[in-house]
Structure 1
Amino acid sequence: MALQPRGPGQLWAERGWYLSAREQPEDEEEADEDGESAPLLPPGSVHDSQSHGSSFAFSVFNLMNAIIGSGILGLSYAMANTGIVGFSILLLIVASLASYSVFLLLSMCTQTAVTSYEDLGLFAFGSPGKVLVATTIIIQNIGAMSSYLLIVKSELPGAVAGFLSEDESGSWYLDGRLLLLITSICVVFPLALLPKIGFLGYTSSLSFFFTVYFALVVSNSTGDCKAKLFHLSKESAYAIPTMAFSFLCHTSVLPIYCELQSPSKSRMQNVTVAGIGLSFLIYFMSALFGYLTFYDKVDSELLQGYSKYLPHDTVIMTVKVAILFAVLLTVPLIHFPARKAVLMVFFSHLPVSWICHILVTLTLNTIVVLFAMYVPDIKNVFGVVGSTTSTCLLFVYPGLFYLKLSREDLLSRQKLGACALVGFGICVGLLSLVLIIFNWTDQ
């Protein structure tokens, strides 16, 4: 059966139950008037029941799993180029704005009853808005997958060498690009081909625990040196883009909302605050102690420093293996929303088929592997993707969509906040991108 694109009018008609619910008498509870306890799904759906859906704690865990990723390896470099206090302030600002932008997304969710970021773009700006959001998600996820596979390319040879008794440099199994190609074909591609994302939920849970283990081990690897409280250099341009890249979870918020027990805006906002808050602590801890280990010698990808200065440390070897498992188990998960967006933009007029599914998966995997092979430094991925697609999905789009869809007065607190969010995203994204390009030309 062909997948036919739906316009805003059709979506509104399909969700007429919600429009009717919004026409309740004005003496209802205040929480219902502003949508705080308004349900996302229509009455009678499976998730409308108290006994179905994910618990609060499991939803927090899922959100943290969506947040914490390869960015954790770039934050020590960001701290080295902003200072401990400067980094702490910037990280807190980005985390707070990420939480606020999720609040705006949830507000629009209860107004429109849509369950995807792309459909919010459709409601706000029609088909061009949906295509724009889907295209941004494709680029963002290709960048995210490339950053993960860059870690495989740089760290897998050292992990293999650590298990060898003799120096065998030059051997084929110590070639990072070849190992990247082999693992992509044997691990990433088969898992990405799975028709349902459910199985990968278990593998991504393992990935999360491996990442937390990394943060705990890094926190025990301190040394003696002089830390900088504030620092500014040309490399500081990578700081906020890396943070934006690290906190981006907005494409996962709505699916998690749908699966939450007794879903409401206030309940999901509590999940968001808890998830982003705990992720903030993990990010800060790993960044701080990674910086305090190497100071101004910290690499753009933290594990490279351990490979240089602690090449035979057994604990560090276990960290490398944990991170590599985390990477390999997470990359296929990121394929799913990327493939969905590609199918939505380019193949929505075609019937669902395995041939299309395989070809799109293979094409995405090929693009990602090529990027990972030939991009020299992970900070370039964090910088470019973080200053463009990450800032759009994190700051600009939520603010724009809220300004377009909300029925509040233009001078209301939330609309002013949305304006500030859009302005912050555009200014920081453009400034960071210009500085990064200038940095490239100056090298």
Structure 2
Amino acid sequence: MGRATIKSGSINLLNTIIGAGILAMPYGLKSNGVLFGCILIIWSSLTSSFGLYLQNKVAKYTNQRDHCSYFSLAQLTYPKLSIVFDSAISIKCFGVGVSYLVVIGDLMPKIMESLNVTNHILMHRNFWISIFMILIVVPLSYLKKLDSLKYTSILALFSVGYLICLVLQHYFTEKVQHKHIDWFGPISIKSTLSSFPIFVFAYTCHQNMFAIINELKPNDQDGSQTRQSNLIIRNAISIACISYLIVGIFGYLTFGNIVNSNIITMYSKDSISSLIGRLCIVIMVSLSYPLQCHPCRGSINHVIHFIIHGVSDIKKRQNNQNNHNHGYSSLNSDIESLNSISEMSIQDESFISTTPMEGAQDTDGHDPIIVPLTTKKFYIITTTILILSYIVAITVTNLAHVLAFVGSTGSTSISFILPGLFGYLLIKSDQPLTNLERFCKFGGLFLAIWGFLVMIVCLSATIFLGTTH
């Protein structure tokens, strides 16, 4: 089933990483100083890339490289919590997708105002949300393979490239009087804590990593899926880190401590280059919505499966586990309980297997967990996501605090806590470990602990400092 390549995987992962959050990087440096702010950007890239690496490593170690997902790994570690994990992923991705629509609704009327448009309809946010939903968001969200989004991701990344050029151009041409620069930092504990989520969540892309791994195919030129995935991680994280550093440093140096949390609003509304920059943001977020819809659909499918079959499956799995003294628990019972469902689904309707929904096969060779996603269910779930996203986007104008809570919990879980726990628990220590396996196992424990600390810090910043980034 794999047709993805290193290039397409890198493009899609990079587009998942870089969103409108890149515009807040200068503000992040203002809150921490240039040196300390750059250290936070680089440190966040390292912790995020290690989480991605652990996902890739565990997929290989448990022999799940073709059918891996958070759900399938949870069945090998904490089956009862799998619904919690997938619920967090679906809520997080849904919230981010809605925020993209809100950005469209907020920016397009301002763009029309800059063009001196007076038509009432063209100045209404809901009109533009509807237009972009119909023309861009809906058609792209029904694509079944993540790899199919590589061309739209390229277009979105061109928009990012333009924003970077815009920041550089203004740095070299715009003179701001009496600007103050903090070169070293940190400024204060409060400013660091309030801006900390900007850096931590700037690299959230882990929800799509398993889908990328599943769609890769080993070949003589590029090597194994594991090697290709490592190259994808390196490419995406490196380019994202460099982009954040450029926008953060040069955006902050342009305006100093008067810079706000959205660098694009600092530029003149009457400037053609600034107008194009705002349009680039709209294009970028509209093309990024399907990359949030893809994992959201998969996680919702898992949640539905757990609600219908989860309790009986867990009891059977626990009984089987008592009969095995080593390796992972037997998963044969899952096939027995779902065999008739999956066979009927596959025979009667085309089976969607691009989102990592087929479950996993463990290293003892047990049958995989099958979570069927028929064409009918694919369209029902996707349509539901789109309709609910549209309703929320046109009725709620400010999701800042809600998204801050969702990001603090959901993003932290899928970026640090779950990859870390999977690495620590699934790499068995009852047998001799190589140095790399030992590093991944105990490095995973460190990453999980780091994730819990990040969650505490970000939730505290949201509750007590009113952080909304």
> Given the two structures, how large is their TM-score scaled by the length of structure 1?
0.77
* Residue pairs, 1:104-253, within 5 angstroms: 104-114=54-64, 115-126=68-79, 128-164=80-116, 168=118, 171-222=120-171, 223-224=175-176, 225-229=179-183, 230=185, 231-232=187-188, 234=190, 236-253=192-209
What amino acid sits opposite 2:89 in the alignment?
Answer: I
In structure 2, the partner of 1:269 is 230
- In the other structure, the counterpart of 2:336 is none
Which 5+ residue runs of structure 1 have no aligned equivalent? Answer: 1-45
Q: Tell me whether 1:84 sits opposite 2:38 in the alignment.
A: no
Instruction: Tell me, in whole angstroms, the C-alpha distance in 2 between the residues paired with 1:252 and 1:183.
Output: 23
The alpha-carbon deviation at position 174 of structure 1 amounts to: 1.2
- Report matched runs for 1:260-409 at 5 Å: 261-306=222-267, 310-346=268-304, 356-373=377-394, 380=401, 383-408=404-429
State the shift of 1:70 in Å: 2.4
Partners in 1 of 2:419 and 2:135 — Cα distance? 38
Q: Distance in 2 between matches of 1:220 and 1:392?
A: 38
- C-alpha change, 1:59 and 1:282, in structure 2 (3 Å) is same
Farther off after superposition, 267-276 or 324-333: 267-276
Question: Is residue 437 of structure 2 the alignment partner of residue 417 of structure 1?
Answer: no
- Report the Cα offset of residue 353 of structure 1: 5.7
| Shift in CA distance, 57/203, structure 1 to aligned 2, threshold 3 Å | closer
Q: In the alignment, residue 396 of structure 1 is paired with which amino acid?
A: I
Q: Give the 4+ runs in structure 1 shifted more than 6 A.
A: none
Contact 2:8 2:150 in 1 (8 A): no
Tell me the CA shift for residue 197 of structure 1.
4.5
Distance 1:291 1:425 in 2: 28
Offset, 1:377? 5.4
- Offset, 1:337: 1.5
- Shift of the alpha carbon at 1:195? 4.4
C-alpha spacing 1:195/1:400, structure 2 compared with 1 (3 Å): closer
- The Cα offsets for residues 168-214 of structure 1, whole Å up to 9 and x where unpaired, read as 3x823112244224432443234323445454332122112211221
Tell me, yes or no, if the aligned pair for 1:220 and 1:289 is still in contact at 8 Å. Answer: no
Structure 2 distance, partners of 1:363, 1:241, is: 30
Can you list the C-alpha shifts for 1:324-364, whole angstroms capped at 9, x where unaligned?
A: 11221221232122112112211576865666444433432
Contact (CA 8 Å) 1:387, 1:433: kept in 2 or not?
A: yes
Residue 220 of structure 1 aligns to a residue whose secondary structure is helix
In 2, the alpha carbon distance for the partners of 1:64 and 1:78 equals: 21
The Cα RMSD (Å) is: 3.0
Cα deviation code 1:376-398 (max 9, x no counterpart): 65754663333211111111111
Question: What TM-score comes out, normalization by structure 2 length?
Answer: 0.73
Residues 107-151 of structure 1 deviation map (CA, whole Å, 9 limit, x = unaligned): 21111122223322222222x343233212112211221332232
Closer/same/farther in 2, CA of residues 120 and 324 from structure 1, 3 Å limit: same
Task: Give the letter aligned to residue 203 of structure 2.
Answer: F
Percent identity of paired positions between Structure 1 and Structure 2: 24
1:74 partner amino acid: A
- Contact 2:8–2:147 at 8 Å: present in 1 too? no
* Cα offset, 1:302, TM superposition: 3.1
Query: Which structure 2 segments of 5+ residues have no match?
Result: 309-340, 346-372
Q: State whether residues 12 and 153 of structure 2, in contact with CA within 8 Å, keep that contact through their aligned partners in structure 1.
A: no
Q: Deviations over 1:387-420 (max 9, x none)?
A: 2111111111111111211113799443332222
Taking structure 1 as reference, are residues 196 and 396 closer, same or farther at Cα in structure 2, changes over 3 Å only? closer
Residue of structure 1 equivalent to 2:369: none
Q: Are the counterparts in 2 of residues 399 and 419 from structure 1 also a CA contact under 8 Å?
A: yes
Aligned partners of 1:67 and 1:248 also within 8 Å: yes
8 Å contact kept, 2:423–2:445: no
| 197-206 or 85-94, which deviates more | 197-206
**Comparing 213-222 with 175-184, which one deviates more in the overlay?**
175-184
